[in-house]
Structure 1
Amino acid sequence: MQKILSGSDVKLLDSLFIAQEGISSWALMERAATAFVDWFILHYKESNHVTVVCGTGNNGGDGLAIARLLFQRGFLPEVFIVGQEPNGTTDFKLNLERLPDGIAFKWLKDQAEMVIGGDVVIDAVFGVGINRPVAGVYASVICRLNESGKPIVSVDLPSGLPSDELIIGEAIRATHTVTFQFPKRSLLLPEHAEYSGVVAVVSIGMDAFDFSCFESELYYLQGCDIPSLHKVFHRFSHKGSFGRFLLIGGSMGKMGAVALGGKAALRTGSGLVTVCVPSCGILPLQSLLPEVMVEACNSDLEVSLPLPAFDRYSAIAIGPGMGIGLGAAQVLEAVLGGFSGAIVLDADAINLLALHPRLKTYLRGKVITPHLVEFERLVGTCEHHLERMSRAREFAVQYGCVVVLKGANSVISLPDGRQVVNSSGTHYMATAGSGDVLTGMIGSLLGQGYCADHAALCGVFHHGLAGELASESKRRGMIASDLVEAIPSTFLRLGIA
């Protein structure tokens, strides 16, 4: 998996990579500009007239190189430069010298001198090096660009946005941010959504570079990471080989959560799926899911004791639609204390952990999948997402469990202190039942014999990819059952047998 480095480490990374490859810093800049232009042409091929706004640092050098490459491919770029010419970096000055005669450029002393004629703006004023709020002409130029109404594509980071911390002051509100090799930490924060826009990560050839000399414990999960995490089955594998999975949950009016989780488990490859629900759920579940077996507890309204014998199952998921009454708490404790196999806890099971803190002592080796509100019920209110991520790491290490903090970029915190940020998914997944689908997927993989780490990583990535695939035709109309039906396509997309 690709490490996510701090902004302060990026300069060192560039130096080490340049030395290893035996290339110049200008050549690395050319790689970055080429990767950006390839992405830009794919997404903005109809935007012939482009306004490129540059600073005088290396991000500005990227912008000048991008303008040159776009010009060579038939675009009509105009360039504005903010700053003083003598202050430019070496590579900025070199790219300025190489700017073709056919590209008009202007030095800006005031934002009033900037007339934005392009169909789209490329923002290359500041990169990862900024460590203070923008001021003066830079702030006025950024405000002018934000007020222009034009689509803005930022190079590496929206200008004014710090690489690792929360924003203070003004920054570009980008439509897209094209960042190099790995997303900068601040692009992953929900507080920065209005600035980062849609984030694209493009490679600049560092994929095989050894990042072990950097101390970051933050990683980026991509499709290329997933196949090696999957188990391999053969033609003599039978339904028992693919796991016997038990899903416990449901209550009057909330059987849909269990139905979604059960079907997701089947679509993820479980050989045998059993759901344990109150007796009122037998008929709807047998009708909705003829492939699952149903175990009913004594209660008509909610899950309660006694439970089916645990020794028949290789993994258990508990929580969706279960409720948080006394009976549900007794069921959760019985599962945590009486089942030695793999367990994933979601929804009301997590709410019960918050209500009964002593149950946290059972969490070693388990997977929990809270959304942001459920997580704060566990650990207390967090001021921002950076604090939330920090507490998730502490929780995973303290209790020896895997914490899947669900969100636009779900963060998987592992017991060894590593945190993995997921790259797949779409905002169209913000729909009721999406989390129940994820529970079924992770539980299915646990039942198939995956370790907790791999089950969480594969489950989260496939879940997000299913959302992407389903949303291609459904968009805002996508519902959780569309996710379930797209799960098999994720295996095909990733080339997994």
Structure 2
Amino acid sequence: MLKILSARQIKSLEESYLEEKGILSLELMETAAEAFCQWYMQNFSRRQDIAIFCGTGNNGGDGIAIARLLSRQGYPVCVYTLGDAKDGTADYNSNLNILPTNIVNKPFSNIDWERFRCHVIIDAMLGIGLNKPLEGKYLDAVKKLNSQKTMRIAVDMPTGLPSDKLVDGEAFQAHYTVTFQTPKLSALFPEHAAYVGDLVVKDIGIDGKYFNGYESSRYFVEEKDILERHKIFHKASHKGDFGKVLLVGGSKGKLGAIMLSAKAALRTGSGLISTFVPGFGLPIMQSSIHEVMVETCTGNDILDSAPENLDRFDTIAIGPGMGTDEKTAEALKNILESYKGKMVIDADALNIIAKRKDLKELITSQMILTPHLKEFERMVGDDVKYPEGRIEKALEFSQTYGCVLILKGLHSLITTPAGIQYFNPTGSQFLATGGTGDVLTGVVASYLGQGYSVENAALCGVYHHGLAGQLAGEDQRRGTIASDVIEKIPETYKNLGLS
């Protein structure tokens, strides 16, 4: 896990690291520049012209060092500076002094924008210390650079984007942001997706022990964190070992939701899947998903009753497509009161709970709730548009009701009652299509049924769901549908080297 720190904490962390290691800040800057260049050279051609825009602070020093290192590897580089070197930091000027003379270095003010052409723009104008809206030459630069129809990459943070709060005004719009050691909080806000682009985190050698002295309950998940949370099954494992899962949902016109959940649970590895649907769904389910057992309620069109003998299941997931009828709400109440095992609560089940305080009181530590932003807003009764407040609201809700909360979206936020919050690294815009939330419900329920803790099921479920979305998007692009995501779930295990 990468601990997420504030801009002030990061500055203090770097100072402590440099002091203990007995190295200069210039050496750490060189390490960061090398990490950036290593990533860049793996992804971009030497035939592409690069324009690096540098301020006179340490972020600009990163940019100057990157220019030198890329030029040394045969990349065509030009540098454009904003500000006077006499106002620059010591590390900026140290790098400027060793910039090879073959690299063109021009003031930003001298650019002829009508004739300006390049393949790649690298933003190294302002770093993580920004605490006010852009103005003057930096605002002018960002507006001009954002209008260029070319690849744009930000070093550490896009210029204009504060590290810890919502942007105010303009900011550089990057296709990639290459940050160092740990993500900055605001780079994880869905509202900042158009500025951050794809987030790349590069290690610059600051060991985890240096983070221990800094208080933070927020973490960015890494692949290795998922690997160590997975259970290992042996060759003699039988279907009972992989869990008995019940999925409750469906209504007229929305039976597809529970079908997607069931297929996702199967592809995630569940041993036995049962569904509980309205009567009309029996022939549809049995003819469509041969591997799933089907039970029905007393009503034909809506869920108007609860299943019997719920203790035969290792976990229950409830909500996809089930509607919010009064009888359905009572069936939900019956299940919440009678079942004491692990549960996933999603979709219409959340919408019912949002309206009834008596049902909120039935939420337990055995439950994982999976709202998207609008569903969460209904549950807390407050505006959750502002990300800083939304993160705090998620923490408050999880601790009040003792549940694990998955707030779905870009870098989905998993919050535990212990006060720990995890940001997920996987996913893409191609998950923004109907039914992918139902897929997540099935994935998480499958892990619960396989015996994972509620925390591990949430973390592994969100990670694999996001990765499956990425893989499906690589193939289908904008044509990606929820069923494509399901079919990519097995490939996520191969990607992680899991059996």
Cα deviation, 1:18-44, whole Å, max 9, x if unaligned, reads 234443211211111111112222333
Partner of 1:285: helix, strand, or coil?
helix
Equivalence for 2:215? 215
Q: Aligned partners of 1:110 and 1:46: how far apart in 2?
A: 26
Alignment of 1:458-477 (within 5 A): 458-477=460-479
Equivalence for 1:199? 199
2:8 is the alignment partner of 1:8: yes
CA 1:108–1:258: 2 relative to 1, 3 Å: closer
Equivalence for 2:376? 375
Deviation at 1:436, TM superposition (A): 0.6
Deviation at 1:101, TM superposition (A): 1.3
Q: Aligned partners of 1:432 and 1:349: how far apart in 2?
A: 17
Q: Aligned partners of 1:171 and 1:47: how far apart in 2?
A: 28
CA 1:347–1:207: 2 relative to 1, 3 Å: farther
Cα deviation, 1:26-85, whole Å, max 9, x if unaligned, reads 121111111111222233315532111101111000000000011001112111111121
Deviation at 1:226, TM superposition (A): 0.4
Partner of 2:219: helix, strand, or coil?
strand
The answer to whether the 8 A contact 2:189-2:410 is kept is no
Q: Aligned partners of 2:17 and 2:264: how far apart in 1?
A: 43
Partner of 1:260: helix, strand, or coil?
helix
Equivalence for 2:397? 395
Which has the higher mean CA deviation after the structures are superposed, 148-157 or 470-479?
A: 148-157
- The one-letter code of the counterpart of 1:85 is A
Q: Aligned partners of 1:306 and 1:415: how far apart in 2?
A: 28
Equivalence for 1:126? 126
Equivalence for 2:418? 416
Alignment of 1:65-214 (within 5 A): 65-108=65-108, 116-206=116-206, 208-214=208-214
Equivalence for 1:491? 493
Q: Aligned partners of 2:306 and 2:343: how far apart in 1?
A: 18
Deviation at 1:370, TM superposition (A): 0.4
The answer to whether the 8 A contact 1:26-1:91 is kept is yes
- The one-letter code of the counterpart of 2:370 is T
Q: Aligned partners of 1:321 and 1:191: how far apart in 2?
A: 28
Cα deviation, 1:90-111, whole Å, max 9, x if unaligned, reads 1111111111111121234577
Q: Aligned partners of 1:248 and 1:113: how far apart in 2?
A: 60
Which has the higher mean CA deviation after the structures are superposed, 338-347 or 7-16?
A: 7-16
Deviation at 1:116, TM superposition (A): 3.6
Alignment of 1:23-38 (within 5 A): 23-38=23-38
TM-score, normalised to structure 2's length? 0.96
Which has the higher mean CA deviation after the structures are superposed, 243-252 or 145-154?
A: 145-154
- The one-letter code of the counterpart of 2:445 is G
Q: Aligned partners of 1:117 and 1:383: how far apart in 2?
A: 38
Q: Aligned partners of 2:144 and 2:269: how far apart in 1?
A: 53
Cα deviation, 1:211-251, whole Å, max 9, x if unaligned, reads 22111111101212101111122233221111111111111
CA 1:481–1:52: 2 relative to 1, 3 Å: same
Alignment of 1:34-73 (within 5 A): 34-45=34-45, 47-73=47-73
Equivalence for 2:230? 230
Number of residues of Structure 1 aligned to a counterpart in Structure 2: 497
Q: Aligned partners of 2:22 and 2:260: how far apart in 1?
A: 53
Deviation at 1:117, TM superposition (A): 3.7
RMSD: 1.7
2:18 is the alignment partner of 1:18: yes
Partner of 2:280: helix, strand, or coil?
helix
Alignment of 1:299-314 (within 5 A): 299-314=299-314
Q: Aligned partners of 1:123 and 1:96: how far apart in 2?
A: 16
- The one-letter code of the counterpart of 2:424 is N
Equivalence for 1:334? 334
2:480 is the alignment partner of 1:478: yes
Deviation at 1:197, TM superposition (A): 2.2
The answer to whether the 8 A contact 2:46-2:74 is kept is no
Q: Aligned partners of 1:480 and 1:61: how far apart in 2?
A: 45
Q: 2:447 aligns with which of 439, 445, 448?
A: 445
Deviation at 1:306, TM superposition (A): 4.2
Q: Which runs of 5+ in 2 are unaligned?
A: none
Q: Which runs of 5+ in 1 are unaligned?
A: none
Q: Aligned partners of 2:116 and 2:38: how far apart in 1?
A: 23
2:289 is the alignment partner of 1:278: no
- The one-letter code of the counterpart of 1:410 is S
Which has the higher mean CA deviation after the structures are superposed, 112-121 or 368-377?
A: 112-121
Equivalence for 1:268? 268
Which has the higher mean CA deviation after the structures are superposed, 395-404 or 216-225?
A: 216-225
Deviation at 1:201, TM superposition (A): 1.9
Deviation at 1:199, TM superposition (A): 2.0
Which has the higher mean CA deviation after the structures are superposed, 187-196 or 245-254?
A: 187-196
- The one-letter code of the counterpart of 2:383 is T
Equivalence for 1:428? 430
CA 1:351–1:445: 2 relative to 1, 3 Å: same
Cα deviation, 1:348-375, whole Å, max 9, x if unaligned, reads 0000011112211111211000011111
Q: Aligned partners of 1:395 and 1:282: how far apart in 2?
A: 37
Percent identity reads: 46
Equivalence for 1:456? 458
Q: Aligned partners of 2:102 and 2:114: how far apart in 1?
A: 19
TM-score, normalised to structure 1's length? 0.96
- The one-letter code of the counterpart of 2:197 is G
Deviation at 1:89, TM superposition (A): 1.2
The answer to whether the 8 A contact 2:404-2:455 is kept is yes
CA 1:468–1:44: 2 relative to 1, 3 Å: same
Q: Aligned partners of 1:248 and 1:419: how far apart in 2?
A: 28
Q: Aligned partners of 1:439 and 1:237: how far apart in 2?
A: 24
Partner of 2:361: helix, strand, or coil?
helix
Cα deviation, 1:430-486, whole Å, max 9, x if unaligned, reads 111101110011111111111111100000000001111112211111111111111
Deviation at 1:292, TM superposition (A): 1.1
